[in-house]
Structure 1
Amino acid sequence: MSEKSSTYPGAAGRASAAGPPTALRNVVLVGHSGSGKTTLVEALALASGAVNRAGRVEDGGCLSDYDEIERRQQRSVQLSLVPVEWGDVRINLLDTPGYADFVGELRAGLRAADAALFVVSAADGVAGATRMVWDECAAVGMPRALVVTHLEAARADFEEMTEICREAFGGADQDAVVPLYLPLYGTPGADGHSPVHGLIGLLSQRVFDYSSGERTEREPTADELPLIARARDRLIEGIIAESEDESLMDRYLGGAEIDVKTLIGDLETAVAQGTFHPVLAAAPAADGSRQGLGTVELLDLVTAGFPTPAERDAPAVTGTDGAPCPPLTCDPDGPLVAEVVKTSSDPYVGRLSLVRIFSGTLRPDETVHVSGHGMQDRGHEDHDVEERIGALSAPFGKQQRPLSQASAGDLACVAKLSRAETGDTLSGRDTPLLMEPWAMPDPLLPVAIQAHSKADDDKLSQGLSRLVAEDPTMRLEHCPDTHQVVLWCLGEAHAEVALERLRTRYGVQVDTVAHQVPLRETFGAPASGRGRHVKQSGGHGQFAICEIEVEPLPGGSGIEFVDKVVGGAVPRQFIPSVEKGVRAQAARGVAAGRPLVDVRVTLLDGKAHSVDSSDAAFQTAGALALREAAAEVRIDLLEPVAEVSVLVPDDFVGPVMSDLSGRRGRVVGTEQSGAGRTLIRAEVPEIEIGRYAVDLPSLSHGTGRFQRVYLRHEPMPPQLAAKLREQPGNGA
């Protein structure tokens, strides 16, 4: 049997000539950091002949983790596409970062794919974040299979790992998560660990031996047959339970032998429908071998069991005016609808946009309409423009292989789209369309930055705009109260990569500074003040006197100015000047340099001079009066309070609530949110949750999620306010 022949009878029948949607499979790899996704992609590329033994493409470029940041940090930080061919089928493998800070790249991969391979490490188990992604895929019916890696690790146990996967992913139907193959163990080594050197096919009852460095096939020995029986029965029962032929179960329970071809056909159908999730094992190839353990079996499963793009429903589309449109079909001759799933910069070709074509055919040099939902709060403008398509290419490592066109179901890179950003829709000029957006995580970790030098300051704005255009999970804020430039990120690693890209890609060096929350001031009690501005230095002098009364108002009232002057003590034309001076001083603050809010300022009396009074003089007098009033009473420092909603597994409710209380939070309620998860609602000062995006994952083992919404400003505890007044400018 050749290396590209199938271990599944009939698998080749599902493939057709490369090019049409039926000859494509788009598969995203999901798993926690260190589970072995990138290694598995390289092993599959090697087994298919896409790369040589050194893990390099034919023209010499590296296959994966070719980004300088990835090489330095030794982890994936971005979505990467590796196309391989198996038989007549092209498989677009989408390798995603496993680190939680780069979940935006994972979501983009899920959007571009039609099926998912969940990679779990036998050495590390199943991470909580991986279970949450599984639930996301289940909610949309995405087909899924599981691959167990790191079987060479000490104490790694495939059967134990399979049971963990059944409990983690099976839910109410654990019989839908079962092994398709069993590992074949060799003689234990000096450490007592038995190496895996082959696989036993439970349906075919054949042994696929990799011990020689090349995959060979043989009959099982008498000692190996008992390993098959129980696991095979469990697999067959799981397949039959998902079969559309209801008579199969009765026949099986009655002792009838079910034809293997029938079982394989039902297996492939159930996998494609997302109701059955086979478990496989995989390992990199040994030195001198092209075929790593399980790579051939996995490629066969993908081509035979995973759906084609034509078998998956496309996201809903509307007109640019929001009017609903008929559902899309994966037709190369249909209307053009594509979506930008990733934006990156190449030092040689400039901006590159990775697009998934859902309908129609994309060709170089044609003009398309670019539509975007816009995320003004994240620094992304709403797009409704036309752009010309540049060169098309298929990415493979660092290399870009030219394409003459890209048809429905496929993925391709488009060069030099200057306006299109991640999440935007490309469609025909005559019929512009807009795809529904996919869920973007909220960036909740603030990182305040400033240019390192004057030269960096000149380039900062452009560099930041290009950075957020690449990454829709990042939000850029220019805070009007603190005058800080703030990058809102998903976590520390996300922020680190963003700043490194600013430096290496865009030549902008920045320094991080303490993030300040927008504090306010208000009067703690009524007070009065007199502003006297009298100067005489030859010629026209300056003369203005005003008397005011200040009283506190309820939160959210802002600044009220009331005129109660009688008898013309302050001429009418200068009353607006007093108000202007009061408001200008309120904006500057009267105690800690924070804006003054929630007070009523009443102008009671004053004096003017027929020659020396002026607009500027009364503005100054108004400001002086407000400062004098503030010196007489307690000034309260107000801090912003956020409504925080935390979603965690039930096991972490106690620690999370205790942590929130330690942050001066007030828990206002809890409620169940699905099986085994609780939503905690609390009111917490924003100054206490600046790093909650980092602390919550640590507290909940990566399973917690939270949202925050500004609620109101309220007085800060006196001891904390006093400490901040000693360090003006430090807000967080």
Structure 2
Amino acid sequence: MGQDVRSPRGPRCIALVGPFQSGKTTLLEAILARTGAIPRAGSVDAGTSHGDSSPEARQHKMGLSLTAVTTQFMGESYTFLDCPGSVEFAHDMRAALPAVDAAVVVCEADERKLPQLQLILRELEDLGIPRFLFLNKIDRANKRIREVLDSLQPASRIPLVLRQIPIWNGDLIAGYVDLALERAFVYREHKPSEVIDLEGGNLDREKEARFSMLEKLADHDDALMEQLLDDIQPPRDAVFDDLARELREGVICPVLLGSALRENGVLRLLKALRHEAPDVTETAARLGVTAGKDAVGYVFKTQHLQHGGKLSLARLFAGTLADGDNVQSSSGEASRVSGMQAVGGGHDSKRSSATAGDVVALGKLDTIKTGDTFGNGKTAPASLVEVTAAPPVLAMALAAADRKDDVKLGQALQRLNEEDPSLTIVHDPQSHEMVLWGQGEMHLRVALERLHDRYGVTVKSHAPGIGYRETIRKPVTQRGRHKKQSGGHGQFGDVVLDIKPLARGEGFAFAETVVGGAVPRNYMGAVEEGVIDALRAGPLGFPVVDVHVTLTDGSYHSVDSSDQAFRTAARIGITEALPQCQPVLLEPIHTVEIVCPTEATAKVNAILSGRRGQILGFDTRDGWPGWDMVRATMPEAEIGDLIVELRSATAGAGSFTRSFDHMAEVSGRTADQIVAAHRQAAA
């Protein structure tokens, strides 16, 4: 294989990913302490971690946004990207993954988190990113490691290859045996592990486990397979070379053991990253970047500092970038680097330039956003990846508590959206509400906290309005007459209108059959406008749809008639006619597609039924073993907080997409309650 297989050069970038509360930030603290970047590891519980240190993260004791920290290990530079584990904040991870050389998937022996683990591994698999699995909290394990591995394997499409086995002291794990190194170590809390003799039962277990590891490596190495068949022990260097090559080719996922809280197993993880993780040249090749003198970089995170303006966290894949360089994105947007900083363990330092592999914070790239590829060449670089946000699943309508903060609120929301593109701001033209869409209850709650804490904007929020409409069942002919005399020219308009229902979904139509000039043609447009005015709110209080109105007759006055008079007459006619047309309430019905672990499908069906859903069917999720997809139709009013109940039933892994399907009649008590609530809100 050659020693160069395990000797990458240049700064490397590693993502720390994993299910919610698996210990990623604690592992980052342990890495920073072990590499000397900080005097000692901070604590998430105590609010002293160097990871996500925002006030909101401290308050909720969870990672809410990506943290980038650069440190040195054995003379080499490593930038670790600590990614949030909650599915509600997963966009930071998705945007960051294209920038990294490898990922460390932090998980624990908890089968309840298996669906979340599968979601994360699928992201890495689809992007072709080499990955280690760090089995954390090993000091709490109460199962044999083989059993744990067997339970985790369904989450991965490639073999999980055990690199270490534990050394037990009664019911406690006291250390581990490194199967590649063929050495035994005893844990020492907050210190490097101590080498001990490999003997007795541990030696027997090591031989069996090592042979199992080699068998999996031999599936992709014919020479190693022949050695095993001939009962020849392969050279240790060849085993390490195989581990490095097969990791980078994405055919195995090595599994390492440890306890981030006690800093156990951290040094061995760092050494595995040093010898086996690819470097920027391989990552650039994976992304299709060709080496050259021009810099090519990728922005994986945008931040707005309270007093420092906009910062773009970026990684360079080729060339050299200097502070002050003019750059352009792949879409042709131009900007200028105004300030360059290295990202460090709790502090940032200025830099004058960066080269391939470096992760830097670039100031004031106003036209370049998260997910953009950029370069300093004369032509715009090709886009390396396209990062799209997951469809939003929960919404709230909001407004500034103080009207004078309306402009401030708009600016703050724009900045939040730049930092987190999985937030979406929509202005509803019908309800005139500003609606903020996000990935879940906590996602929206944190957005409101940031509006208040960072930007000083207090907002009022409530559930968005539902798109109720009303229509009619019965045709009616109605005269509308407007006559007013008050000195000078009066007002006179007189129309006869035929109103009849249309088929569902046909909207609104207007026609005229006036003969003999009863209503002059120049007033026809005003009549139609008056009809439209009246249809904005029917007798039930909602916009009226699927109605055909025909102007059949009327009269006018040569002096007192006007556009405004006929518009008012038409509005009066429609307003008086609609209560006679047997108005009926309509509600929007959406098609919903839910993806969930198979063991939760029965719960999901019960949730749908309890929300007036009509289940259309379900099937296995294509390409996702152990997952189902359920299709149903549901009233929009029942979808509002569906994601909250769905996530609770699926250990945080389930999600859904929806699309409008049709409008359906609502009658009886449900309709009465909707109308009463609407009238009360409007009062």
TM-score scaled by structure 1?
0.87
Q: What one-letter code is carried by the residue in structure 1 that aligns with 2:218?
A: I
Counterpart of 1:236? 214
Q: 2:311 aligns with which of 346, 352, 356?
A: 352
Q: Does 1:106 align with 2:93?
A: yes
TM-score by length of 2: 0.93
* Counterpart in the other structure of 2:271: 300
C-alpha displacement at 1:122, in angstroms? 3.2
State the shift of 1:214 in Å. 4.1
What are the residue-to-residue correspondences of 1:495-514 with 2, within 5 Å? 495-514=444-463
Match among 94, 99, 107 for residue 120 of structure 1: 107
Residue of structure 2 equivalent to 1:182 = 165
Kept in 2, the 8 Å contact 1:517–1:731? The answer is no
Instruction: Quote the offset at 1:477 in angstroms.
Output: 0.4
Match of 1:381 in 2: none
Deviations, residues 679-699 of structure 1 (Å, cap 9, x unaligned): 322222211111122222222
Query: Aligned pair in 2 of structure 1 residues 513, 705: CA closer, same or farther (>3 Å)?
Result: closer
SS of aligned partner of 1:464: helix
- Judged with a 3 Å threshold, the aligned counterparts in structure 2 of structure 1 residues 338 and 203 are, in CA distance, closer, same or farther, namely closer
Aligned residues: 674
Structure 2 partner of 1:309: 280
Distance 2:540 2:218 in 1: 72
Aligned partners of 1:397, 1:86: CA distance in 2, in Å? 13
The one of 170, 178, 184 aligned to 1:201: 178
Tell me if structure 2 keeps the 8 A contact 1:514–1:730: no
Residue among 292, 296, 299 paired with 1:340: 299
Partner amino acid for 1:182?
Answer: I
What's 2:674 paired with?
Answer: 724
Residues in 2 aligned to 1:603 and 1:122: alpha-carbon distance in whole angstroms: 74
Q: Distance in 2 between matches of 1:371 and 1:232?
A: 48
- C-alpha distance in structure 2 between counterparts of 1:10 and 1:501, whole Å: 52
Cα pair distance change 1:167/1:577, threshold 3 Å: closer
Given the alignment, which residue of 496, 517, 524 partners 2:466?
517
Cα deviation 1:26-75 (Å, max 9, x = unaligned): 2111211211111111111111111112549xxxx962232111111111
Consecutive unaligned residues in structure 2, runs of 5 or more: none
User: Contact 1:66–1:397 (CA<8 Å) still a contact in 2?
Assistant: no
Q: What is the deviation of 1:105?
A: 1.3
Residues 123/571 of structure 1: CA separation in 2 closer, same or farther (3 Å cut):
closer
Q: Return closer, same or farther for 1:472/1:157 CA change in 2, 3 Å cut-off.
A: same
The residue number in structure 2 matching 1:26 is 13
Distance 1:657 1:282, change over 3 A: same
3-state SS in 2 of match to 1:495: helix
Comparing 432-441 with 155-164, greater Cα deviation is found at 155-164
The 5 Å alignment of 1:279-678 reads 279-284=255-260, 292-312=263-283, 327-329=288-290, 331=291, 333-371=292-330, 384-428=332-376, 430-435=378-383, 436-586=385-535, 588-672=536-620, 673-674=622-623, 675-678=625-628
**Alpha-carbon distance, 1:280 to partner:** 1.0
Matched position secondary structure for 2:435: strand
* 8 Å Cα contact 1:532/1:545 also seen in 2: yes
Q: 1:44 is matched with which residue?
A: 31
Q: Alpha carbon RMSD of aligned pairs, Å?
A: 2.5
* Amino acid of the structure 2 residue aligned with 1:567: G
Which amino acid in the other structure matches residue 178 of structure 2?
G
SS in 1 for 2:138: coil
Partner Cα distance (1:479, 1:409) in 2: 44
What is the deviation of 1:156?
6.1
Give the whole-Å Cα distance in 2 for the aligned partners of 1:457 and 1:72: 27
Q: 1:284 to 1:233 in 2, by over 3 A?
A: same
Distance across 2 between alignment mates of 1:141 and 1:386 = 31
Contact 2:530 2:566 in 1 (8 A): yes
Determine if the alignment matches structure 1 residue 210 to structure 2 residue 194. Answer: no
Aligned residues of 1:647 and 1:705 also touching (Cα < 8 A): yes
Mapped contact 1:515–1:731 kept (Cα < 8 A): no
The one-character-per-residue Cα deviations of 1:637-662 (angstroms, maximum 9, x if unpaired) are 22222222222333333332333233
AA of the residue aligned to 2:303: S
CA change 1:356–1:692 in 2 (3 A) is farther
Change in Cα spacing, 1:662 to 1:575, as seen in structure 2 (3 Å) is same
Aligned equivalents of 1:631, 1:106: Cα separation in 2: 55
Does the 8 A contact of 1:648 with 1:679 survive in 2?
yes
Other-structure match for 1:227 = 205
Q: Give the CA deviation at 1:336.
A: 3.0
> 2: CA distance between counterparts of 1:328 and 1:10?
25
Identical residues among aligned pairs (%): 34
Letter in 2 for 1:470: E
CA distance 1:88–1:10, shift in 2 (3 Å): farther
Per-residue CA distance 1:243-288 (angstroms, 9 max, x = gap):
2xx13212212222222121111111111211121211122475xx
Q: Where does the alignment leave 5 or more consecutive residues of structure 1 unmatched?
A: 1-8, 17-21, 287-291, 317-326, 373-383
- Do the aligned partners of 2:593 and 2:657 also contact (CA within 8 Å) in 1? yes
| Aligned residue identity for 1:113 | V
SS at match of 1:200: strand
More divergent stretch after superposition (650-659 vs 718-727): 650-659
Q: Which residue of 2 aligns with 1:710?
A: 660
Alpha-carbon shift at residue 13 of structure 1 (Å): 8.1
Aligned to 1:377: none
| 1:98-128 CA-partner distances (Å, limit 9, x unpaired) | 1111011121232221211111123676431
Residues 166 and 178, structure 1, Cα contact 8 Å, conserved in 2:
no
Whether the 8 Å CA contact 1:123–1:153 is kept in 2: the answer is no
| Range moving further from structure 2, 432-441 or 211-220 | 211-220
3-state SS of 1:606 partner: strand
1:123 and 1:150 in contact (8 A); partners too: no
**CA distance in structure 2 between the partners assigned to 1:355 and 1:154 by the alignment:** 38
Quick check: 1:48–1:86 contact (8 Å CA) kept in 2? yes
Letter of the structure 2 residue corresponding to residue 278 of structure 1? P
Structure 1 residues 167 and 590: alpha-carbon distance in aligned structure 2, compared to 1, 3 A threshold: closer
Q: CA deviation at 1:552?
A: 1.1
Secondary structure of 1:77 counterpart? coil
Which residue in 1 is equivalent to 2:134?
147
1:6 is aligned to none
CA distance in 2, matches of 1:158, 1:462: 52
Q: Distance in 1 between matches of 2:515 and 2:260?
A: 90
Q: CA deviation at 1:397?
A: 4.6
Distance in structure 2 (CA, Å) of the matches to 1:403 and 1:164: 47
Shift of 1:474: 0.9
- Cα deviation per residue 1:137-187 (whole Å; 9 max; x = unaligned)? 223332111111112337365443233223432x5x6xx32321222233x
Deviation for aligned residue 1:731: 9.7
Distance 2:128 2:370 in 1: 24
